[in-house]
Chains A and B, each alone.
Chain A
Amino acid sequence: MAGEFLVSTRKGLFTVGGDGGWRISATAFLGDNVSLAMRDPRSGYLYAALDHGHFGVKLHRLRPGEDWREIATPAFPEKPEGLVETDGWGKELPWTVMRVWALEPGGPGQDGLIWCGTIPGALFVSFDHGESWEWVKSLWDHPSRKRWFGGGADFPGIHSVCVDPRDADTVRLGVSCGGVWRTRDRGRTWDLTANGMRAEFMPPEQAGDPEIQDAHMLAQCRDQPDRFWVQHHNGIFRSDDGALNWTEIHDVEPSNFGFAVVVHPRDGDTAWFVPGVKDEKRYPVDGRLVVTRTRDGGRSFDVLKNGLPQNHAYDVVFRHALTLDDSGEKLAFGSTTGGLWVSEDQGDNWTEISHTLPPVHAVRWS
């Protein structure tokens, strides 16, 4: 089998691959907005987050041999009477889940444990395969959390959850806009670890404040777990010390702006990005859709375009819409204009699967 991946779109969930090659092999929730999907490799269960707009956010689960079933949705507790909470810009922060923005299984020894990041920026954890959820109050109560603000959304959100392969109680989070966070005790205490990042969108004296950094996406190398990459609002950053300190990568052509990043599971020097014209425009440079790849820790980048549209392409690839399989060979990504591509050779060549899908929110190997 060539592999299989889940494509979450504005109008449903698509499964691509399987024995029939790179074709759409299954659909679910057609017509509904699927913001994110995930297969838990420990249980084999699939999870899909739906955003019904009118009716709110819901979670569904598919167990092998069964139909999709609605399960509990992460939810804030009742807000204390009279409490007014604001984000970093002073906007009132609602205590209601507006989007599921991260779904990640816990470690191999944590059967049933799932992390869920949301907008507004809260973290939830389930210990029973999503049957129920606990609000991680320790993070919400952290004084620095109160400075977070929205990046690309009305309110701040947690979009990346990296469970450390050495110790599953160590978890790092990427937050837009709120930097990078680490717990070493499964969520009881938290450190803010975004030293070295730079926020051009802030006044110069605040540009280095770690708690307002817009880390668009955080990726950890499985076999070199102290190596992290961040695609940030202001460029690409790399960490060699477990996400404590960050180094900005310069001179990235055609652009260092983007949302997505994936890192090779064995070689932390190898990572992929999908660049675009920087923040005020956000589309492929010169209308040419490319993927960039570094094999040397960011000293140089290959610009990969074979098989990708090079004429009037306005595809934007969101932070969850680029995925790499466990072998480190196969990539897939989807775009806001309904394009979907796969590569079996680390991005050297791409095959178009569709250019007529609904807007793609997320692509993830199953």
Chain B
Amino acid sequence: MEPIIKIENLHYLYPGDEIETLCGIDLELHPGTFTAVLGRNGSGKSTLAKHLNAILTPTAGRVLVCGMDTADESQLLRIRASVGMVFQNPDNQIVANVVEDDVAFAPENLGVEPQEIRRRVDAALRQVGMYEFRMHAPHLLSGGQKQRVAIAGVIAMQPKCIVLDEPTAMLDPSGRREVVETVTRLCREQGITVVLITHHMNECVGADRLIVMSNGIIAADGAPKAVFQQREMLEREGLTVPVTTALLQELRAAGMDVPTDALGIDECAGRIAARI
């Protein structure tokens, strides 16, 4: 299948910096997949995200979104309408005083017909479960709700891909769950390609693919189960494996013959039960 995003030998140097933030990234993202990107602060994961919808353009190398080069300014709007971006701080990305007006912002910018905007806004708000709040003032919502409004604001553009740059960093645990469940559903039910950048290992469990960034390069790339096996590398990157994987790995190290690739709690319990 044709990749939706294709990155070829991407280098990026922030103006005024001496060391490249991204030093040679090659990556292909396929339609309908859920990719999680992990890495400590300064590993370059946010910088990578900003390349996916042409907020930043490569110092060297190429980024192709649906075949369009992000360096080509004439394609800018089409690229940004194809790849929606959700940021960390929900307060700083909501532009209107009423939820539904905010969701309408992107289609308005794209010049969509008023009735079609109305339809898209209602559909987007239903998809994130915020339809009942459409007349509310955003500043009175919880963090998780605000972030779901931000997601609705992006899917109203009908993008092929959504990139979420640490959308849960400022949320409490229940808000975090709301957001991750929402994007997982969008990916599974609507077939939208999702790129979730995060600090939290637990949010990667449901992903198809897990990429670990380190000092501007990709340190690991594979199915979450496979990546979590590389515990030493992850700990070197300041990341902790999910407790289930850690438990199985400890048991195995202690001499119990259990497979260590279980992620879910039930799955993990099943593996242990099968051995005792």
Chains A and B are bound partners: no
List the interface of chain A (C-beta within 8 A of B).
Answer: none
